[in-house]
């Protein structure tokens, strides 16, 4: 959600901090601010709105200091105001703090601090933490072998309930930052005589590709010459320096109008990267190096449980359909946010999969930990090397699609669909699928990138359809079997970036309630591929037309609709049913994107949304 950047080095901190914040704009935010050590003060600049507003404000301050922290806020406690924007300064002026996460017991801490003379200017939980650190700093004498600043942060965090990723400045400690995390990502970039802290790799990769991923419960003390990592209990931690495998060029728009548009058209290459090296030499099955489970283990599994949120949950639903269809193993799909709290009865020998593009989704991470706490193995599908979910899972599959900047997921989603299909094949070949059927399945998957390229050629036609339908404020998306989750995804995309009310349903369920919504002002998007249920979907379309509803039909090549049944037709290549959800996703991504553009929406920064949801 919120974004953090910190800098310690020899260059002007404000320039580097603001550059980092601009690269975090995609995460979602409503205000921004920075604090810099200079002239014996902690000097702050904060503004509501876009980072560009903060850039203008910072120019008035003439920042020259070489150590600082900054933040983009996504409001949780308190409204969108300058007073609530980060960084927050303690009332004694000693401590400046930026924070991602939620301090759940902030009210009790505030009650403790008020009688001790600490004042509060904001409604936030974060200001409470800055004052708590200041309180411990004021009462803590220097301890031999320990930094007073570091120890005051440690002591404060031991009283905190909730989640946090924080970066802290102290007035008395020039050129130093103390940072810590619990449940909210934080990364240290190790540069050339400089260090950059960030909540996301994209904020620091322009300056270094050497990074240390902090773990929950770890605290890092950064000085101009070195850094030290320890735990809240003062145990030293040996840092592991990883290398980021992509460069800043991968996070540039390269001529596209929006990151979302770029990432839609990157999908053929992304799919190729996701499947590269993951088929057996005989071409009959998929193989994964990181599952840490062999054929015997897989044969003993009596069901799969998939967990995800939002778009990832939709990909889990498609995986459910394909695994049950081809591997004949029961699959359950649950919202990660619900699973961890509803105490679902678990028996037998299930295997859990969690899906999260970022690997930091707080609800999915909580569900992973809950399943492991009950003694079950959990595998992860995610796109971010070094993420918390990737580290804590018992094994997993990296998507390898490169950075996804657009808030509305596109290439990460179709990659998850592909990996779900490959998992279905992997398990099916260990059970009842024949060699010949496996070869056919692999051949179909290998065609997916080219089929997506063909579907993308419809962009011009879909843009014209979007222009016609952009004026409507309600829309239904309807599909069956593996395309029902794609209907859900199409509706979600439209909601996310164009703010149109949209709903996804199984096409046959329309007459069980949603048909009441049908009128001339509520268009319906139908998935009607060639196959055994084609005529059933056509019947549902006729029910809509009989009530004067408008119809956009997404059909596969070779389908023939009754004359006049659809107001607009979008044709995609006919393909294997394991690949169909991937190819069918392309038209609804483009339709949502072009409608949002027609309505003048900020596609890459939709209101109220964040790329990675790291707070409950």
Q: Can you give 377-413 as a three-state secondary structure string?
A: CEEEEECCCCCHHHHHCCEEEECCCCCCCCCCCCHHH
Give CA 596 to chain center in angstroms. Answer: 20
Residue 611 designated active-site = yes
**Active-site choice (2, 170, 575, 601):** 2
Strand partners of residue 379: 353, 395
| Nearest Cα residue to 198 out of 208, 132, 89 | 208
| Site of tokens 């990432």 | 263
Contact 34, 71 (CB under 8 A): yes
- By the 8 A CB rule, do 2 and 230 touch? no
User: 35 in helix, strand or coil?
Assistant: strand
CA 354 – CA 381 distance, rounded (Å): 6
Concerning whether 2 is annotated as a catalytic residue, the answer is yes
User: Following DSSP, what letter does each residue of 305-329 receive, concatenated?
Assistant: EEEE-THHHHHHHHHHHHHHHHT--
Separation between Cα atoms, residue 98 and residue 32, nearest integer Å: 10
Helix (H, G, I), strand (E, B) or coil at 110: helix
Encode 153-198 in three state secondary structure.
HHHHHCCCCECEEEEEEECCCCCCEEEEEEECCCEEEECCCCEEEE
Give Cα separations from 193 to 8, 18, 45, 208 (angstroms).
9, 19, 26, 11
Query: Could you tell me which of 5, 2, 36 has the C-alpha nearest to residue 198?
Result: 5
CB-based contacts of 23, cutoff 8 Å, min separation 6: 200, 202, 203, 206, 251
Q: Is 220 helix (H, G, I), strand (E, B) or coil?
A: strand
Q: Name residue 501's beta-bridge partners.
A: 474
Q: Are 612 and 310 in contact (CB under 8 A)?
A: no
Order the strands of the 350-356 sheet from edge to edge: 331-335, 303-308, 350-356, 378-382, 395-398
d(CA 501, CA 118): 46
Neighbours of 19 (CB within 10 A): 17
| Distance of alpha carbon 331 from the chain centroid | 24
Query: Which whole-number Å values give the CA distances from 250 to 245, 386, 403, in the listed order?
Result: 10, 18, 7
Catalytic member of 94, 262, 605, 611: 611
Contact (CB, 8 A) for 10 and 223: no
Residue 21 has φ and ψ, to the nearest 5°, of: -60, -40
Evaluate whether 195 touches 222 at the Cβ level (below 8 Å).
yes
Helix axes 311-326, 484-498, angle to 10 degrees: 170
Give me the active site residues, please: 2, 611
């Amino acid at each position: 959600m919120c974004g953090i950047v910190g800098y310690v080095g020899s260059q002007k901190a404000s320039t580097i901090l603001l550059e980092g914040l601009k690269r975090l704009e995609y995460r979602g935010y409503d205000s921004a601010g920075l604090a810099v050590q200079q002239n014996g003060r902690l000097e702050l600049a904060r503004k509501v709105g876009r980072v560009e507003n903060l850039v203008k404000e910072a120019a008035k301050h003439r920042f020259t200091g070489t150590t600082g922290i900054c933040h983009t806020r996504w409001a949780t406690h308190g409204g969108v105001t300058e007073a609530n924007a980060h960084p927050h300064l303690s009332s004694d002026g000693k401590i400046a703090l930026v924070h991602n996460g939620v301090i759940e017991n902030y009210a009790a801490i505030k009650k403790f601090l008020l009688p001790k003379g600490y004042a509060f200017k904001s409604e936030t939980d974060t200001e409470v933490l800055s004052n708590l650190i200041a309180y411990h700093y004021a009462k803590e004498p220097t301890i031999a072998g320990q930094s007073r600043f570091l120890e005051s942060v440690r002591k404060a965090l031991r009283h905190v309930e909730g989640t946090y990723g924080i970066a802290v400045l102290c007035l008395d400690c020039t050129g130093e930052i103390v940072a810590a995390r619990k449940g909210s990502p934080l990364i240290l970039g190790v540069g050339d005589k400089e260090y950059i802290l960030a909540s996301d790799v994209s904020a620091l990769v322009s300056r270094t590709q050497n990074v240390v991923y902090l773990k929950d419960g770890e605290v890092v003390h950064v000085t101009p010459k070195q850094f030290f990592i320890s735990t809240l209990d003062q145990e030293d931690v040996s840092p592991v320096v990883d290398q980021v495998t992509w460069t800043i060029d991968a996070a540039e728009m390269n001529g596209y109008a929006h990151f979302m548009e770029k990432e839609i058209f990157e999908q053929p290459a992304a799919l190729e990267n996701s499947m590269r090296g993951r088929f057996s030499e005989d071409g009959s099955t998929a193989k994964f190096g990181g599952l840490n489970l062999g054929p015997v283990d897989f044969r003993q599994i009596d069901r799969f449980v998939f967990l995800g949120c939002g778009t990832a949950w939709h990909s889990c639903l498609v995986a459910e359909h394909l695994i049950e269809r081809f591997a004949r193993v029961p699959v359950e799909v649950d919202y990660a946010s619900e699973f961890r709290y509803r105490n679902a009865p678990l028996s037998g020998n299930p295997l859990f999969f969690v899906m999260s593009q970022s690997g930091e989704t707080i609800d999915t991470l909580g569900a992973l930990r809950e399943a492991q706490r009950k003694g079950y193995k959990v595998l992860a599908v995610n796109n971010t090397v070094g993420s918390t979910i990737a580290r804590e899972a018992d094994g997993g599959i990296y998507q390898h699609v490169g950075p996804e900047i657009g808030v509305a997921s596109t290439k990460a989603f179709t990659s998850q669909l592909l990996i779900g299909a490959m998992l279905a094949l992997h398990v099916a070949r260990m059970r009842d699928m024949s060699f010949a059927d496996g070869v056919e399945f692999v051949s179909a998957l290998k065609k997916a990138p080219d089929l997506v390229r063909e579907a993308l050629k419809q962009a011009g036609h879909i843009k014209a359809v979007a222009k016609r339908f952009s004026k409507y404020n309600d829309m239904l998306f309807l599909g069956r079997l593996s395309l029902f989750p794609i209907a859900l995804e199409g509706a979600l995309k439209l909601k996310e970036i164009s703010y149109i009310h949209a709903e996804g349903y199984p096409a046959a369920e329309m007459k069980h309630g949603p048909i009441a919504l049908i009128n001339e002002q509520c268009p319906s998007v139908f998935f009607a591929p060639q196959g055994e249920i084609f005529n059933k979907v056509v019947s549902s379309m006729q029910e809509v037309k009989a009530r004067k509803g408008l119809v956009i039909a997404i059909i596969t090549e070779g389908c023939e609709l009754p004359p006049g049944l659809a107001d607009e037709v979008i044709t995609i290549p006919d393909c294997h049913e394991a690949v169909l959800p991937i190819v069918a996703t392309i038209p609804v991504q483009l339709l949502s994107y072009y409608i949002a553009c027609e309505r003048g929406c900020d596609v890459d920064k939709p209101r109220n949304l964040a790329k990675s949801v790291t707070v409950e």
